Structure 1
Amino acid sequence: MKLRKAVFFAIIISLFNVELVLPQITTSAVPFLLIAPDSRASGMGESGVAVADNVWAVYWNPGGLAFQEGSEIGLTHANWLPGLGLSDLWIAHLAYKQPVEEIEGVIAGQVTYLSYGEIQHTGETSPEPIGPPFTAYEFALTVGYSTKITNTVGLGVNARIIHSHLSPFGAGKETGEGITTGFCFDIGVMYKPEVLVIPFTSLDIGKMLSFGASISNIGPKLSYIDRAQADPLPMYLRLGFAFQILQSEYNNIAFSTELGRLMVNRWGETTDEFYKSFFTTWMYRSFNEQIRKFVSSMGVEYWYGSPKLLGIRVGYFYEDPREGNRKFLTFGAGIRYDMYGFDFSYIDALEELHPLGETLRLSLSIAW
């Protein structure tokens, strides 16, 4: 990485200045935990909490794993924030799931690795390099378990270890390192009704619907230098539903929509602990303020073939202008052959020179 790019990106890292990318997350540590890990849900506007029918349910909603059969492994890679022009800024995800009859459920795991590339350490007042460049990165290791608590309800939980290695040096005159390790948990529930008759009709849409809810990244704050400067994890709530618009031998169309909200409560220079944020997130704001804190996403997926062979997707993501103003279209496609799958997704940020613009995710999967 050239020195000027290294210095520029080091400033971004040190300030967590990602407002154009993850606006609601600038009050939290390790925002990479909220980067969508797969091309399928990403192609549907990043709405995955109520779909959650493949290995990536471990991220979107571990409760969805309870309804799945067979084993699957998935891998995703993306050059992150391509609008910044930093070729060594990339993220990769690896996930695996497997049913285990002895424990009447499904176990799953996920590894996420975000590379910031090589960064040159410089002085406070001089661009002259100090010592050799260092590599900045973050990663998370997740393990999960999901089971059916009734025929129609699946419940899942995850445990996660997080490691953030932003810099082996302190900022300015501060002692210590920009390195920390923490942990958190997720919980998710999926509801798939067997029967749901529309009132005043005989139409049963039960098997066409699914509802999902999850809270991710539940855990204590992370501190890089000292506890007084600790930042909360990006605890995040998702609520959504999915509907099978068309189901036939060769054609399938599904719609998915989702609401999401960061559950971090800041009071001036301090933030509440996660167990307080469960409650204070919903306090001291008007109803309109509460509503605009939610981001919304939706998407449509079409599959052709018996079994499914070719798929196309489109979606939309929206955030209130007063809360960050993220708005983008997503597109995607997929192909299935035997036990193999390939998917990609693309983000149109609807404006020039946006860091997220032209983000391309590539995903591979093997299911057996």
Structure 2
Amino acid sequence: MRKIRFSLLSLVVCFCFSLVASAQGGADDVKHKFAPINTAIPSLSIAPDARGGALGDNGVSTTPDVNSQYWNPAKYAFAYSKAGVSLSYTPWLRKLVNDVALAYLSGYYKLGDSDLQAIGASLRYFSLGEVIENRDQGMGNQLILNPYEMAIDVSYSRKLSDAFSMAVALRYIRSDMGASADDDMVPDNAFAADIAGYLEKYVILGQSECLWSFGFNISNIGSKVSYDGGNTNQFLPTTLKIGTGLLMPIDDYNQIGVYVDLSKYLVPTAPIQEGTTEEDVEAYNKAYEEYNTMSPIKGMFKSFGDSPNGFKGELEEIMASIGVEYNYNQQFFVRGGYYYENKYQGNRQYFSVGAGFRMSVFQLDAAYLISTVQSNPLDQTLRFSLAFDMDGIRNLFR
């Protein structure tokens, strides 16, 4: 039962992308190896907020907001408000299950009066729903389990110049697959860090003054995770994200921003067994032992040149997204985006749309995902975010 339950959870968490990709095979697929990057706690890679989700999972270089803790905490140093807090909720894989969801709470506070530094924090809780384990065959004895993944992090950001800031974040992660007393599986804890940077400058294009931005974030640099007491070790989803954007004024009230992100897992590819001979099995076991004992830092560097499909395979590991955001007077927002992942790496390809409404005290955002490939369990995913501006709340009581 332990193996059955673990397989079910793995199927849900891995989004069923293997089935999606294999359905699009062709003549070249026989030669090309399906080698997606495998990580522990994949929920850390789920975009938690409605704004980023509506922009095609894009947010490394967008203008600062309350949810910058996930995308790029260095943006907090350029935030306009003194403080803010946001709550987001995402029902996940609703086409497959009805009780899997991600809840995300984030906030920040700018330190001092110099407008140079800020601290941020967030709490992420990913519920894998309810799993029923039959303890005794035919006896009706059942055990209800509630597996989950969670993370708590804090960040510090500071302007290093009028146009550039950097940030570091520290994160505690816990994963509990709902193991019972009879299971070999055990919950595990991990620690990770982020390193991020953000640059923004005003540039003149034609007769308009536009805001150009650039950002990067290396997230989840940390310890490995094991559910079996250290026999099998899995990498965290360490990710390099870089992005750039341009916010252009249309007139005194209307603006439009265009943002592009590129991302890549800094995680080595797991070895693939080539054949069934004794030599093939021995070579695979040796490669897997090296993979299993590899340090996270060594794995980050190895990830740039270990694809079984060569240089082409390395390029296929790069995920891309583009987002467009229109706003009227910084009060009404309409957003759209597109996200692309190669079919050999998971085949997440979808459009996203969303809208937002801001008042002096709060902002409400929503996003909706539209898959461009068949049988994608992420299709029709909804996201909701509600943010509060502490300056606006304080002004209400003046």
Which secondary structure does the structure 1 equivalent of 2:249 belong to? strand
* Residue number in structure 2 paired with 1:326: 348
* Residue number in structure 2 paired with 1:210: 213
Q: What is the Cα deviation at residue 116 of structure 1?
A: 1.6
Which secondary structure does the structure 2 equivalent of 1:13 belong to? helix
Q: What is the Cα deviation at residue 254 of structure 1?
A: 0.4
Residue pairs, 1:188-337, within 5 angstroms:
188-194=196-202, 196=203, 207-268=210-271, 269=288, 270-271=291-292, 272-284=294-306, 286-305=310-329, 308-337=330-359
Runs of 5+ consecutive residues of structure 2 not aligned to the other structure = 22-34, 272-287, 392-398
* Residue number in structure 2 paired with 1:48: 59
Q: What is the Cα deviation at residue 183 of structure 1?
A: 0.9
- Provide the aligned length of Structure 1 versus Structure 2: 351
Q: What is the Cα deviation at residue 15 of structure 1?
A: 6.0
Q: Report the structure number with the largest CA radius of gyration.
A: 2
Runs of 5+ consecutive residues of structure 1 not aligned to the other structure = 1-6
* Residue number in structure 2 paired with 1:340: 362
> Could you give the per-residue CA deviations for residues 135-159 of structure 1, whole angstroms, max 9, x where no partner exists?
1111110111100111111101111
* Residue number in structure 2 paired with 1:160: 171
> Could you give the per-residue CA deviations for residues 101-159 of structure 1, whole angstroms, max 9, x where no partner exists?
189510110001111222112369x5865543121111110111100111111101111
Distance in 1 (alpha carbons) for counterparts of 2:367 and 2:138: 38
Further displaced range: 26-35 or 328-337: 26-35
Among candidates 87, 101, 105, match of residue 75 of structure 1: 87
Distance in 2 (alpha carbons) for counterparts of 1:208 and 1:110: 28
Among candidates 164, 167, 190, match of residue 182 of structure 1: 190
Q: What is the Cα deviation at residue 248 of structure 1?
A: 2.9
Distance in 2 (alpha carbons) for counterparts of 1:25 and 1:186: 23
Q: What is the Cα deviation at residue 273 of structure 1?
A: 2.0
Q: In structure 2, do the counterparts of structure 1 residues 214 and 128 end up closer, same or farther at CA, with 3 Å as the change threshold?
A: farther
Distance in 2 (alpha carbons) for counterparts of 1:351 and 1:151: 44
> Could you give the per-residue CA deviations for residues 19-49 of structure 1, whole angstroms, max 9, x where no partner exists?
5359987611000001101101110111100
> Could you give the per-residue CA deviations for residues 208-228 of structure 1, whole angstroms, max 9, x where no partner exists?
200000110000101111212
Q: In structure 2, do the counterparts of structure 1 residues 267 and 357 end up closer, same or farther at CA, with 3 Å as the change threshold?
A: closer
> Could you give the per-residue CA deviations for residues 230-281 of structure 1, whole angstroms, max 9, x where no partner exists?
1010000101101013353211100011001111103523253221123111
Question: How well do the aligned residues superpose, as a CA RMSD in angstroms?
Answer: 2.7
Residue pairs, 1:14-25, within 5 angstroms:
14=10, 18-20=14-16
Q: What is the Cα deviation at residue 319 of structure 1?
A: 1.1
Matched, 1:89 2:100: yes
Distance in 1 (alpha carbons) for counterparts of 2:230 and 2:260: 39
Distance in 2 (alpha carbons) for counterparts of 1:230 and 1:203: 56
TM-score by length of 1: 0.87
Q: What is the Cα deviation at residue 346 of structure 1?
A: 0.2
Query: Is the Cα contact below 8 Å between 2:66 and 2:86 reproduced in 1?
Result: yes
Which secondary structure does the structure 1 equivalent of 2:367 belong to? strand
Q: In structure 2, do the counterparts of structure 1 residues 121 and 178 end up closer, same or farther at CA, with 3 Å as the change threshold?
A: farther
Residue pairs, 1:17-166, within 5 angstroms:
18-20=14-16, 27-69=38-80, 70-84=82-96, 86-101=97-112, 104-122=116-134, 126=137, 130-166=141-177
Q: In structure 2, do the counterparts of structure 1 residues 20 and 176 end up closer, same or farther at CA, with 3 Å as the change threshold?
A: closer
* Residue number in structure 2 paired with 1:4: none
Distance in 2 (alpha carbons) for counterparts of 1:105 and 1:17: 36
Q: In structure 2, do the counterparts of structure 1 residues 191 and 17 end up closer, same or farther at CA, with 3 Å as the change threshold?
A: closer
Distance in 1 (alpha carbons) for counterparts of 2:163 and 2:6: 48
What letter is aligned with 2:380? Answer: E
Which secondary structure does the structure 2 equivalent of 1:316 belong to? strand
